[in-house]
Structure 1
Amino acid sequence: MNTLKYLIGYSTTVTQQVQKLIDNDKLAEVLLKKYPVAHNIKTDKALYTYTVDMKNQYLRQSNPLSKVIYDDKIDVLHQALGLHTFVSRVQGGNLKAKNEIRIGAVFKNAPLEFLRMIVVHELAHLREKQHNKAFYKLCEYMEPDYPQLEFDMRLYLTCLELVGKLY
C-alpha cells in the first residue's frame, strides 16, 4: 500500500477507497471525468487579474494585493500549495504594508476549480491568519464547495505523484 501523504488525517475508510482506485489504475480516470480540462490562466499577469477580481468580489474591504505570481520554488511536498506573505516596511515616517500571494507552479496546468480553491485559501488569509473555524467559514463563503475541492485537489496531487502530468 502506498503512503498517501496528501490524505493524512482522512479516515481509514476514505484512504482505503482511494488506494483501491490507485490499485485498479482508476484514480486518473475518475479525476479526468470530474475535471476534464485545465484552466488557461498561465501567466502571472492573468493570475493577478483573476485573484484581484475574486478579492474585489468577496473581500472588497481588505488591503490591496501588491503581487500574485506562480512560484516554482513552492514545494507541495512540504505542505505548501500557496503562500500569503504580509510585509511591513518603514519608509520615512510612514509604515508601508504589502500583501503578496504565491501559488505553486504545479497549478499552472490544473483544473480551474483547483486553482480557484488555492486562490480562495490564500485570500482568506488576508482576514484570518490561522487555519481556524472562521478561516474555513470564510473559504466556504467564497467557494461553497471548498471542502470537496480541497479533497479532490489532494487526490489530484496524489495522482500527479503516481502518474505524472494529467493535462
Structure 2
Amino acid sequence: MRRMTDLVYLNGYPPHVLERVSAMLSEGTLAPWLAQRYPEKHSVQTDKALYDFAIELKQRYLKNAAPLAKVLFDNQMVLAGGTLGTNTFAARVQGGNLKRKNEIRIASLFRQAPPEFLRMIVVHELAHLKEKDHNKAFYQLCSHMEPDYHQLEFDLRLWLTLR
C-alpha cells in the first residue's frame, strides 16, 4: 500500500480522500477507473496546434485579455514542484511604446493526456491573463471557461499520481 505521503499531487485534500486514493492504488483500480472515465487522447501534438487550441479558447472567453505571443509544450518543465504549466509576462519599452508579451508553456507530458486535462491546464493558464493570483475570482473565471474545472483538476492529480 502506498503511503499517503507519496501522494504529492494530492496535498491539502482531506485524509478520507487520501485513504480512498491510496486504497484504489493498492487494489489496482485507479488506473482502470481513470481509463474508463477519460478513454480518449487528444490530437494536439505540436506547438502550433497547442497555440491554435489556446487562441480558440481565448477568443471565446477572454476576447479583451492581453494577446498571447507564444503557447508551447515545454520539454524542460519539471513536475516535481507541482508546476504543470506557466504563464509568463514581460513588459519592454521599445521606443516610446510599452510592449507586452504573454507566453504560456505547458509541460510536454500533456501530449499524452486526455483532452479534458489539456483543456483544464490551458484554461488555468489563460485565466492568469486576467487574474494573476489563485484567488476566488481566478477560480470563478476557470469555472466559467470550464464548468467541470474543479473535478478535472482533481482527476488530473489522480492521473499524475499514477504516473
Question: What's the TM-score, normalizing by structure 2?
Answer: 0.97
Match of 1:109 in 2: 112
- 1:136 aligned to which of 135, 139, 148: 139
When the two chains are superposed, the root-mean-square deviation of aligned CA atoms in Å is: 0.6
1:93 aligns with 2:96: yes
Q: Which residue does the alignment assign to 1:20?
A: 23
SS at match of 1:126: coil
Partner of 2:86: 83
Q: Distance in 2 between matches of 1:56 and 1:64?
A: 10
1:148 is matched by which residue type in structure 2? Answer: Q
Q: Which residue of 2 aligns with 1:148?
A: 151
Which amino acid is 1:133 matched to?
K
Instruction: Choose from 62, 65, 74 the match for 2:65.
Output: 62
Secondary structure at 1:99 match in 2: strand
Distance in 1 (alpha carbons) for counterparts of 2:75 and 2:14? 31
Structure 1 residue 58 displacement after superposition: 0.2
Distance 2:112 2:96 in 1: 44
- Matches of 2:70 and 2:29, distance apart in 1: 38
Kindly provide the CA deviation profile for residues 90-113 of structure 1, in whole angstroms up to 9, marking residues without a partner as x: 111111110100001010010000
- Secondary structure at the aligned position of 1:39 is classed as coil
> How far apart are residue 75 of structure 1 and its match?
1.1
Question: How many residues are aligned here?
Answer: 160
The structural deviation recorded for 1:122 is 0.2
The answer to whether structure 1 residue 51 and structure 2 residue 54 are counterparts is yes
Structure 2: give runs of 5+ residues left out of the alignment: none
Q: Where does structure 1 lack aligned partners over 5 or more consecutive residues?
A: 161-167
Query: Equivalent residue of 1:50, what SS?
Result: helix
Name the CA distance, whole Å, in 1 between partners of 2:86 and 2:76: 11
Q: Tell me which amino acid in the other structure corresponds to 2:101.
A: K
- Which position in structure 2 is the counterpart of 1:73? 76
In structure 2, what is the Cα distance between the partners aligned to 1:24 and 1:54?
38
